[in-house]
Amino acid sequence: MRVALSAGVCLTPQRYLQNPLLLIEDGVIASVAAPESVEPPRHFRRVDFPAAVLAPGFIDLHVHGGAGCDVMDAGADGLAALERHLARHGVTSYLPTTLSSPLDKILTALDTLASSIEEGEKSPPAEVRARPAGIHLEGPFLSPERRGAHPREYLQPVSLELFHRFWDAARGRIKLMTVAPELPGAGELITEAARRGVCVSLGHSNASYAEARAGIAAGARHATHIFNAMRPLSHRDPGIVAAVLNTPTLFAEVIADGVHVAPEMVEFFLHAKGREGAVLVTDATSATGMGDGRYRLGTTTVQVNGETCLSEEGKLAGSVLTLDRAVRNVMAFARWNLQDAVKLATINPAHVLADTSCPGMLAQGMPADILVLAPSGEVLHTMIREVSNFESGY
């Protein structure tokens, strides 16, 4: 497929490009230029969005489910429904995220998700569906004190042997792994996972400042849902939150729904971590897009009322946030412009993954994962490689 795509503005890695023209051939961006500098070849189909913004596809590093699908139990139909739902909200790449569960359930889920990734690589879907870029292993190496919605009985002591079992079940598809750095043996695990190319994320942790810094020194590069399921920040006991905010090389994700973190604290976090280090995620559950009711999150039941998901223990248990709304919330909470807010859902998570197949930018030679946005941030159309919904929209 050959498409010449134009709009009012294009968000490139460096700047706004006014009146851009993108040439897309066989699912790859062939060029990004101003229209006066290039004439589209006659065999390219011209598609114009004169009042819209072209942006890279969003990347969500933390997705437990959506559209009624929980990734711990998902079959092909459930994952397809989830991926269509994600694409409707601008997500072109995502990490299906596990939850602490019985070991056989985790191993089965990892095998199923790896098979889904492999099938998509061999036979890309002929519809607009987000692409799983790997797996996020959240648990079971977490703090009992800061476990959140992870059932205590399914947490495990740190074990290299168990990590290797997970790695083998996922056939090397684990891209991100959340670990509490204060657990005995965590440093060795972080180093081993990083050696295998896994981005280790500090989270669900009761770590002191020193323990968190030790995890970073061992190779951790990211932090899971800042403030949530973490030792609180205190002026005499700075803990893991201060270590995350004080380490410029560490990325950190935030659930910017106004429920998990107050809007004022989202603004504080964005100011502290900056445009280069902050990442937006959803931590979305199977309830996302489904309305109020009772839904599954791994082995647990969650009750959804409005924007809040609660476990049977009354704890926050994931979200019903979508990533496009998180981008718009950043614009509202912190008064950031669209380009800066989009960066937190595109190039920054791409840097976390360090995966050239989802680069999070619009540039020559990059995969054609492209959004058409309204200037206010709503998703109008989505293109993923060679498939788009330019005719119908959402």
Q: CB of 239 within 8 A of CB of 213? A: no
d(CA 195, CA 182): 20
β-bridge pairing 369-373 and 379-384:
antiparallel
User: Which of 60, 70, 257, 283 is flagged as catalytic?
Assistant: 283
Side-by-side strand order, sheet with 293-297: 293-297, 300-305, 308-311
User: Does the active-site annotation cover 70?
Assistant: no
Q: How far is CA 352 from CA 20, 93, 115, 147, 200, in A?
A: 28, 13, 23, 23, 10
Structure tokens at 117: 């990734």
For 160, the 3-state DSSP assignment is helix
> Which residues are CB-contacts of 387 (< 8 A; sequence separation ≥ 6)?
124, 125, 126, 127, 128
Compute the chain's Rg from CA coordinates. Answer: 20
- Is there a cis peptide before residue 132, judged by omega within 30 degrees of 0? no
d(CA 228, CA 18): 39
Q: Which residues pair with 11 in a beta bridge?
A: 16
d(CA 41, CA 54): 21
Structure tokens at 21: 């023209």
So which residues are the catalytic ones? Answer: 283
